[in-house]
Amino acid sequence: AEIAIVPDAVAGGAVAARDIAAIVTRNPEAVLGLATGSTPLTTWDALAAMREEGLDLSRTTGFALDEYVGIAPGHPESYRCVIDREVVDRLGMDRARVHVPLEAGQDPTTAGAAYERAILAAGGVDVQVLGIGRNGHVGFNEPGSSLASLTRIKTLHPHTREDNARFFGGSIDDVPVHCVTQGLGTILRARRLVLLAWGEAKAEALAGAVEGPVSAVLPGSIIQLHPSVLVVADEAAASRLT
Ligand code: F6R
């Protein structure tokens, strides 16, 4: 992987945004793989600033990594709403072309296969943005997920629910238990991966992903199987890299 070590998340967001913008400039109909959580926010900020300078994302397509199961439609922390608010509106994407793996009213047991078909029909993902969990998860592929997995229902690890309780008023009981997530095999099909990590809490997971054994024990290690990866980390997240 190509590794950019930056002073902070703002600088890192600018590096990631430049990478994505170059792809969109070459192909205005590029297919973008979108992550949620806090990590990509500075990337969206930087892309929003580039939009003001003329970057046109209106013809791109988007596929989110994951969505909670059983969250009320329109809940502000559903990834549908998060993606609409943080990405579609701010970057001027076309909402009809931005997808999450489980839409309101869809059956979660068949949504995964439908999502895979939709990604293929769109021509595949050109660039997939990824955060990483403290336990090394990417998407919601928790440790133990098959390296070949495709989009499907998964159970969130209690640690992940704890980490995400901050988005649900601090209460772990309000965090959904299940999700539909792109699989590790789905993520590997993207033509480029941009993995972002900020802060000391991610240092161990990032070192394992970049330098450790490729293993389902640390799902982020799949980046080592991919020929085109950009890792952007701040100094704290990069502190365990050797
Ligand atoms: C989000 C996702 C997760 C997050 C990861 C890190 O769509 O799939 O893998 O990227 O949990 O979360 P943050 O960025 O909130 O630290």
Q: Strand 127-130 relative to strand 152-155: parallel, antiparallel, unpaired? A: unpaired
Ligand 1 in contact with 220 (CB < 6 A)?
no
* Candidate of 36, 152, 159, 193 to mutate for ligand 1, largest count of ligand atoms within 8 Å of Cβ: 36
Task: Supply the residue whose CA is at minimum distance from atom 14 of ligand 1.
Answer: 39
* Candidate of 65, 77, 223 to mutate for ligand 1, largest count of ligand atoms within 8 Å of Cβ: 65
Contact 206, 132 (CB under 8 A): yes
pLDDT in single tens digits along all 242 residues of the chain: 999 999 999 999 999 999 999 999 999 999 999 999 999 999 999 999 999 999 999 999 999 999 999 999 999 999 999 999 999 999 999 999 999 999 999 999 999 999 999 999 999 999 999 999 999 999 999 999 999 999 999 999 999 999 999 999 999 999 999 999 999 999 999 999 999 999 999 999 999 999 999 999 999 999 999 999 999 999 999 999 99
ipTM reported for the complex, 2 dp = 0.98
Ligand 1 atom closest to residue 36's alpha carbon, by position in its atom list = 7
Ligand 1 in contact with 36 (CB < 6 A)?
yes
| Predicted local confidence at residue 160, as pLDDT | 94
Contact 179, 188 (CB under 8 A): no
Q: What domains, with CATH codes, occur in the chain? A: 2-234 (3.40.50.1360)
| Predicted local confidence at residue 198, as pLDDT | 98
How far is residue 88's CA from residue 106's CA, in Å, rounded to a whole number? 21
How far is residue 52's CA from residue 117's CA, in Å, rounded to a whole number? 34
| Predicted local confidence at residue 146, as pLDDT | 98
Rg, C-alpha atoms of the chain: 16
Overall pTM surpassing 0.90 (yes/no):
yes
| Predicted local confidence at residue 196, as pLDDT | 99
Instruction: Provide the token pair at 8.
Output: 């902070």
| Predicted local confidence at residue 20, as pLDDT | 99
Task: Supply the residue whose CA is at minimum distance from atom 11 of ligand 1.
Answer: 133
Ligand 1 atom closest to residue 35's alpha carbon, by position in its atom list = 7
* DSSP H/E element including 33: strand 31-34
Ligand 1 atom closest to residue 65's alpha carbon, by position in its atom list = 7
Contact 156, 176 (CB under 8 A): yes
CB-based contacts of 88, cutoff 8 Å, min separation 6: 62, 94, 95, 98
Ligand 1 in contact with 159 (CB < 6 A)?
no
Question: How much distance in Å is there from the Cα of 136 to the middle of ligand 1?
Answer: 10
Task: Supply the residue whose CA is at minimum distance from atom 1 of ligand 1.
Answer: 36
Q: Residues, the chain, total?
A: 242
| Predicted local confidence at residue 232, as pLDDT | 99
Ligand 1 atom closest to residue 34's alpha carbon, by position in its atom list = 7
Question: How much distance in Å is there from the Cα of 132 to the middle of ligand 1?
Answer: 6
Ligand 1 in contact with 139 (CB < 6 A)?
yes
